[in-house]
Amino acid sequence: MKWLTKQSLQNPAMVVIISLLVALGGMFSFSQINIESEPQAKLGMLTISTTYPTASSQDVLEDVTKPLEKAVDRVSGVKSYISRSQENHSLLTVSIEAEANPDRVRDEVEKSVAAARLPASAGRPEVTLRQIGTEPMYFLAISNEKQVRSSEAFYRLVKDKLIRDLEMIEGVDAVEMIGAEKQVIRIRPDRQTLQYYGLSPADLKQAIEAQHVSASVGSVTSEGKEAIARVNNAYSDFEQLRQTRLLLPAGGEGLGASLRLDDVAEIKREGERTSVSRLNGKPAVAVHITKTADGNIVEVSNQIREKLEHYRKEYPDLTFEIVSDRSDFVKTSIGGMAKEGAMGILMAAAVIFLFLRHVKSTLIVLVSIPLCILVSVMFLQWNGISINLMSLFGMTVAIGRVVDDSIVVVENIYRRFQTEPRSNRTIIQAVSEVAGAITSSTLATVAVFLPIAFVSGILGDFFKPFAAAVAWALLASLLVAVTVVPLLAGLTMGRDTDQRHRESRLGLLYPKLLGWALVHKGKTMAIALMLFAGSLGLAFQLPSGFLPELNTNLLFIKLNLPAGTALDRTSEYARLLEEAILREPEVLYVQSKIGSADDAAKATHTTEITVKLTAGTDEDAVLERLRQSIEPLAPADAQIAYSKPAAGGQGGYQAVLYGTDFATLKEAAISVKQKLKENPLLANVKDNVSDRREQLTIQVDRERALQWGLTPDQVSKQVAVAMGTSRLKSMYLDGEEYDLLFGTDHAADLQQLAELWIKSPQGHQVPLTELAALKMEEVQSALLRKDGEPYVQITADILGADKGGISKKQTEALQQMELPAGVNISSEGIQQDMQKGFIEMFAAMGAAVLLVLLVMVASFGNIWSPLAVLLSLPLASIGGMLGLWLIGGVLDMTVLIGFLMLIGIVVTNAIVLMDRVQQLMKAGMRVREALIEAGRVRLRPIMMTAVATIAAMLPLALGFSEGSLLSKGLSTVVIGGLLSSTLLTLVIVPVGYESLHRLASRDRCRKAGKTVHEAIGGGIRDEA
């Protein structure tokens, strides 16, 4: 460090050029770095989604889910999986082992499921690696209120022009359109007419498919050239389709005759709707835009807004409403934290000036802040880390700490200039005197963040950008303190006239207080222990949580009616909810999405409502009022879920029942649900087995069917064609593609089904009721399995802030229940996340303490001084816990990060003090005299660094920006811990050091034949 300072003073031009290069590099990196709302945290899981049209939940389980489960079982790195089989759709959620590479596991799973044998009508399994930051960032509503253009033209414009334009924007991953009506060509067979002519709906469908052909049949050679041969008989207009000739069965009433298709079926072009979307109760197409994982959320948003402005001018008859733009939250957070960071700089400057009463010294210290922040940005960009809530928060927090090294250097130079010549030699000696202390303290602070690299899962991904931002800023602050700061001090302070300061009252009082504490060690340590014990007591009184909720002014409400509910009926109930929500004065927008854009999923019973609130609204209060007004409007068999955005996403309370007998599991679930409903702090209690729907079971009599030459398979295929809708090869009319559908657009009536005629291979017509028994029965709408075995999951919303405490008490209550034999219960969800997170964070703290100890032992060259410094760590919890308790904070992961930071920050002052003690003792001073003298000399820099850090972080603790939701708890802990540890460190650490020094001297005393008094240099008398 001495060499760096000497080179800086000898070659100032080099320092200036390097500083300018760093500043320019930092500003360039800031212009290039990616910006997003949250870190790209991989959730350690992936999903496998597969559609299976017109299949029951049981068929989905047997035909799709089980083969996929077997495929997943073969992949290494898979920890466990949960499957959900419901009508028309299979979903597997796969948990990945912590040590496995998620991208590799995803690739292996994709290969394995691609080889699984699935039904021909099943869709291709879609494998998606889930991570934070890839959810929709932009909610848009487009409406055709003026009705200048037809509905068909409007929907086609949105789909073919607007959506495609948005998909072409750089950084956009997917654009989903909900609520549009799709034009199709539908063929509705007339069953009575078909029966009259001896035809079945299956015959008609087969005849159409035989006529509507477009396929390659091989290749031919002509004049030495090879050409593809292709049969092209696809329908190209309505008339061709209507005039399709159908041969009547031979040997009947119509021997050798034929019919036109429109004689036995209705052919019509019409709109098909699988979803409904409304904005504030009025029809509007919902558009959800998702950015790529590495897309810049602000740039993507700006490009989308430019497109919308262009659309508003080009299509003045259409209305474009931005329901939610997640980049607004990011920009507000960045602006808020930048403002709070600027306020922190000003407050730190005021503190430094009040201590030094020297403008130039204050400005020298402040130079370190922008340089260190720009270095941090540069390294973030080089390492592929984005500017997000956590990295930005890390840089803002670092403002309070990066000035510490510069303060110690400037204060020592300033102090020596008052008694020594103002020369480069004095500057070098002043820097050398504190270089060891600031190096040790900075490395110790950086070391506490190293264990974050080994924290797994979402927690590690979430806090690594924060740790990286702080660490790089601190390392930069050390280099600035020994290079730039001495140079500026030599250029500015060397020409000042002497400005001697009188000793402050604190400076006069402190040596007396320290002397008393060194004499009364027992009383001093007893007071410290009592305060520490009190802080531990406060810890058990604090509510606990996982990650804080984000104030994005958004609420989400999900309504689930019984499976099978028609889209129109679901829409009616959704409208009732919309009207109730719009009555709230704080509500700006209500966007409802009924059904699903994927018609294969048939989610006509689901409604998702996004509620946009005015800025500054108390989300919890509005949510509680909505809960009271909405729930009476929904039917008794409906399920309603409420949520709002949280950092990293969060779940409520989850209890999971395991067992081999599903009937026993359902019986136990009833008791557990009742127990949860008794807890007033839990709401919206529901399970995965209560949602049931009616199913018509058709049991074919094999003997009777055989008499007519039929098999159950032949009967089922004819019933399927007659009951459902089949998708044939698409048609092109006037250059536009249309789906060609065969069948009705609604479910078959039970009475009509009973009257259905089945055609035998001999051409005879047989009533379905003569071949099969029809029985209505209730079945589960969804079948859930975990690792191939059935399970029951019961969930509930947690109403209180103490999510951890509420979950823990409820789990204890459930574990005391008497459940049926063979049924086991476990608590998952937020409690499981918290348990894992707290264990890993406490392990990280333990590792951080050892790393700090290692750095100090390497610096001091002995174990006793570092052990004395570590006495300052418990003192930090006193102020940290008290501060958190005073503001009504929650003990969550951000608060634990605050305590982790304190491990590195609070030892800084102790290191600065003990470094000077050792210097004085090496110079021949007795231990007690060295302690008192070092305390007197180091009092001002210690108080300056502590108060400057506190002042810089105070705006974060009091801030009202969006990002302050993450920073409030952490900042409060750091401020309170630093305050208590600084005040007590000045007393407890010297007391501890003298006691440890005395213990270490006993062995030397015995060997040398001296008294303890002589060995440690005298100056000690026993307590009275």
pLDDT tops 90 at residue 491: no
d(CA 792, CA 973): 41
Q: pLDDT tens digits, residue range 839-897?
A: 877 888 888 888 888 888 887 777 878 888 887 788 888 888 888 888 877 777 778 88
Q: pLDDT tens digits, residue range 355-410?
A: 777 788 788 878 888 888 889 889 988 888 888 777 887 887 788 778 888 888 88
Look up residue 796 and give its amino acid. Answer: A
Same fold, 191-263+694-780 and 503-550+832-1018: no
pLDDT tops 80 at residue 251: no
d(CA 639, CA 797): 12
pLDDT at 252: 47
Q: 109 falls in which pLDDT band (50, 70, 90)?
A: very high
Contact between 716 and 805 (Cβ < 8 Å): no
Q: Which fold would CATH assign to domain 191-263+694-780?
A: 3.30.2090
Worst-scoring range by mean pLDDT, 437-451, 550-564, 636-650, 775-789? 636-650
Residue 251's alpha-carbon distances to 114, 179, 196, 203, 257, in angstroms, are: 48, 50, 14, 16, 11
Residues 6+ apart with CB under 8 A from 222: none
Worst-scoring range by mean pLDDT, 697-701, 769-773, 793-797, 1003-1007? 1003-1007
Domain spans of the chain, in order of start: 1-32+358-494, 42-131, 191-263+694-780, 503-550+832-1018
Q: In terms of Cα–Cα distance, which of 914, 917, 882, 880 is closest to 895?
A: 880
Q: Is 682 helix (H, G, I), strand (E, B) or coil?
A: strand
Mean per-residue pLDDT, 743-748: 74
Q: pLDDT tens digits, residue range 935-970?
A: 888 887 888 778 877 887 777 777 655 555 556 777
Size of the chain, expressed as the number of residues it contains: 1024
Residue 1015's alpha-carbon distances to 520, 600, 992, 1011, in angstroms, are: 21, 87, 17, 6
pLDDT at 899: 85
pLDDT tops 50 at residue 806: yes
pLDDT at 497: 46
Edge to edge, what strands does the sheet with 138-143 contain? Answer: 172-178, 285-291, 138-143, 319-325
Positive or negative, the Cα torsion across 264, 270, 275, 280?
A: negative
pLDDT at 581: 92
pLDDT tops 60 at residue 1015: no
**HSE-CB of 382 using CA atoms within 13 angstroms:** 12
Q: Does domain 1-32+358-494 have CATH number 2.30.30.60?
A: no
Helix ranges restricted to H, 783-861? 803-815, 830-860
CATH of 503-550+832-1018, one of 3.90.1150.170, 3.30.470.10, 2.40.10.120, 1.20.1640.10: 1.20.1640.10
pLDDT at 1018: 46
d(CA 274, CA 1000): 81
pLDDT tops 80 at residue 43: no
pLDDT at 63: 92
d(CA 14, CA 4): 12
Q: Which fold would CATH assign to domain 42-131?
A: Alpha-Beta Plaits (3.30.70)
Phi-psi label, residue 180: left if phi above 0, alpha if psi -120 to 50, beta otherwise: beta
